[in-house]
Amino acid sequence: MILIPTLLIFLASEYISLNIYGDTITIEADGSLPSISPFPILFIQILGIASLFCIMFSYKKLMESFKLSRELSLLELEKHSLNQYVEEAKIRYEKTKSFRHDVKNHISIVKELVQNGNIDAALKYMSDMENLTADMSFPVSTNNPVLDILIGNKLGIAKNNQIVVQCSFIASYPCGIADIDFCIIFSNALDNAISACNRMNHDEQKYIHVTGKVQGDFLLIEISNSYSGRGSLRSGTGLANIKAVAEKYHGAMEVRTDGEKFTLSVLLIIPQQSESISQQVC
């Protein structure tokens, strides 16, 4: 990139030199050489060098603009995906609310069927109710309906890949941390954890552990997974987004390895005092 503008400056200087001064030497009557000012050529050279730096600066800004545009596109895709989790959580919440509203009616129907001796019909009705509640239930319970959907889906994918999963994260809801920020942390972290486990050999133990705890106004989230030792600690996608969320809440992000264990820690300062996070294995 630098060679071509430099060559152009040199050629321009030579061309201007030949056209201004020519290729012959004129000697004065007294034998002295005529006085020739070097400033025109010097000015052209300085102008060319300045142009070179302007080109380099513009190229750098253009690359930064392309990088920012690419990151914004990825964030838009991630936001769209996370909004789907939010919508799914709302749908499940409405279904649960509707079921709880009708639960007395369901009990009355089952009771009447049993009293009338229609045991088979009562059992079938109860089976239908069980299927209905299964559709509304969450494989993970964090007290946050959006996280229940997201973490449940991600850990479900992990289980399908023969990865042992454990979750001990239960948060008060709302707790002062925006759902979209929680989703950015957990979606990126769990995607990286699943990818790391999938890179391991089939005979190696694979696991993902999700924990969270509160101390005062501090929320510490830790996601650890088995690690083969291959690859860079910071090669996972989305770590920059997780770090940005941590900094938004005046916290910090840390990644570390301990033997064959990889741990991502995210510290957040809760904007408003919330209840402590208890622990529950799911």
Are the C-beta atoms of residues 173 and 146 closer than 8 Å to each other?
A: no
209's CB contacts (< 8 A; 6+ apart) are: 165, 166, 167, 168, 222, 223, 224, 225
How many domains would you assign to the chain?
Answer: 2
The verdict on residue 126 lying in a domain is no
Task: Give the residue with greater pLDDT, 206 vs 52.
Answer: 206
Q: Where are the alpha helices (DSSP H) in 144-271?
A: 145-160, 179-198, 239-248
Where is 218: in which H helix or E strand?
A: strand 218-226
Given 28, 43, 72, which residue is the final one in a domain? Answer: 72
194's CB contacts (< 8 A; 6+ apart) are: 154, 157, 158, 161, 163, 208
CA–CA separation, 25 and 23 (whole Å): 7
- Report the alpha-carbon angle 207-213-215, nearest 5: 155
Tell me the range of 132-136, 146-150, 233-237 where mean pLDDT is highest: 146-150
Of the candidate ranges 47-61, 157-171, 184-198, the one whose mean pLDDT is the lowest: 47-61
pLDDT at 280: 39
CATH number, domain with residue 253: 3.30.565.10
Domain range enclosing 198:
139-282
SS (H, E, C) 99-147: HHHHHHHHHHHHHHHHHCCCHHHHHHHHHHHHHHHHHHCCCCCCCCHHH
The verdict on residue 85 lying in a domain is no
Of the candidate ranges 16-25, 55-64, 218-227, 262-271, the one whose mean pLDDT is the lowest: 16-25
Q: What percent of the chain has pLDDT over 90?
A: 13
User: 138 — phi, psi (to 5°)?
Assistant: -110, 135
pLDDT at 18: 61
pLDDT at 166: 87
pLDDT in tens, 74-103: 666 666 666 666 666 666 667 666 766 677
The verdict on residue 209 lying in a domain is yes
pTM: 0.57
pLDDT in tens, 29-40: 665 555 556 666
Are the C-beta atoms of residues 9 and 41 closer than 8 Å to each other?
A: no
Residues 54 and 162 in one domain: no
Tell me the range of 7-21, 68-82, 199-213 where mean pLDDT is highest: 199-213
CA-to-CA dists, residue 104 to 24, 70, 97, 110, 128, angstroms: 111, 53, 13, 10, 15
Residues 280 and 145 in one domain: yes
Which residue type occupies 204? E
Residues 179 and 263 in one domain: yes
The verdict on residue 214 lying in a domain is yes
The verdict on residue 280 lying in a domain is yes
pLDDT at 200: 87
Residue 139 burial (10 A CB sphere; 0-12, 13-18, 19+): middle
266 three-state secondary structure: strand
Given 46, 72, 98, which residue is the final one in a domain? Answer: 72
Given 26, 46, 72, which residue is the final one in a domain? Answer: 72
